[in-house]
Structure 1
């Protein structure tokens, strides 16, 4: 683009969609803040934000995998690390491509925000939450009585991203859709326990207790 030339603008139809999204987001925030239960929880949104940040999640699963090399968990551990890396990469690429600005009312006090994180679409927190829920419901099923708390956490996280004015509604929807797509990709890429054991043995140069290896 030549110096001094105007920046490219989205097509008119897309501008109209984004404008409508911004207006609906503002109305949703006003409505949410008018409800006493939601308004009283605003001080907890920052803590909820940290519960699904990519860095703590990845650090936790790497440490958990390294410290607890249980044969019954190794498949989940290796696949979860792979899924988190996939999510971080796809969200970073999407944000760098779309470069949508966060809502004007957003306060720049987010935890560990850098690089493409400054952009709004899609919500990485929502994609990660949706992907984790997909994994624990469909790919590595946890007992059914844990499903409701898991879905409640995912829903609360998505709502809080809008009420904190970190994201517009479409950012959250896009994040959830991306998270489901990531879950489907993980269903295709899922590494079996024996291969997960081999990977961990190769990385750590140690044999996992209880595992069997061909010699």
Structure 2
């Protein structure tokens, strides 16, 4: 077994403050608007709505089912953003190895080994990334933008109320999501590049042929 890591005192104080503040916040909401168990179905629905696996399967399926170039471009770029997010969150969780709140129930949808760690909140990074990235790339209908932001906010807050994460897990996750969105806006593939990438995985011969035109 490895040695137990020594946490610097200032960081230890910040983490202790985070635990206490998170607990107070959950109890406050439970007392004022609860009991929170009444909303478990809604919060679990939000959890699934931003889970990485349905998003990966959904975008991957749409890429190959719908051949519209604009829509395919969107799906390819979202898929790349999701993979980027998964890698970033996995690395941060592996480095920090912060445990989830003690009141967390082991009933999350489709978990993996890395999901036992709490920092940062992967749901928050993913939700915020999408909420920032899509308006950056598209002139969205204002009501859709408002709905998207409301969804991302609800997902992030529900992570704390479900006792999946501490407040700092979600706050830092949101910052990471914003940074990921700006990185992806710089890496955003054109319709032609997205189609080339799809062709590469569908039939490599089409990639070579595209250079002979």
TM-score, normalized by length of structure 1?
Answer: 0.91
Equivalent residue number for residue 129 of structure 1: 127
Counterpart for residue 32 of structure 1 = 29
**Which residue number in structure 1 is paired with residue 142 of structure 2?**
144
Cα RMSD after superposing both structures: 2.1
Matches of 2:27 and 2:128 in 1, distance apart? 25
**What displacement does 1:207 show?**
11
**Aligned pairs for 1:1-215 within 5 A:** 7-36=4-33, 39=36, 40-205=38-203, 215=213
How far is the alpha carbon of 1:38 from its aligned partner? 7.5
Deviations 1:6-41 (A, max 9, x none): 512210000000000001000100011113368342
Residues 1:198 and 1:6: Cα distance change in structure 2 (over 3 Å): closer
Residues 22 and 160 of structure 2 are in contact (CA less than 8 Å); yes or no, is this contact kept in structure 1? yes
Q: In structure 1, what is the Cα distance between the partners aligned to 2:202 and 2:121?
A: 34
TM score, norm. by length of structure 2: 0.91
- Contact in 1 for aligned 2:124/2:170 (Cα 8 Å): yes
**Following the alignment from structure 1 to structure 2, what is the Cα–Cα distance between the partners of residues 58 and 162?**
24
CA contact (8 A) 2:50 2:123 kept: yes
Deviation string, structure 1 residues 88-127 (Cα, Å, up to 9, x no partner): 1110110000000000010011111112111000000000
Structure number with higher helix proportion = 2
- Tell me the number of residue pairs that the alignment of Structure 1 and Structure 2 aligns: 209
Q: Which runs of 5+ in 1 are unaligned?
A: none
In the TM superposition, residue 143 of structure 1 has moved relative to its aligned partner by: 1.5
Give the Cα separation in 2 of the matches to 1:136 and 1:38: 35
* Distance change in 2, residues 1:89/1:178 (3 Å): same
Kindly indicate whether the alpha-carbon contact (under 8 Å) linking 2:62 and 2:72 is maintained by their aligned counterparts in 1. no
Residue 45 of structure 1: CA displacement?
A: 1.0
Partner-residue secondary structure (3-state), 2:70: coil
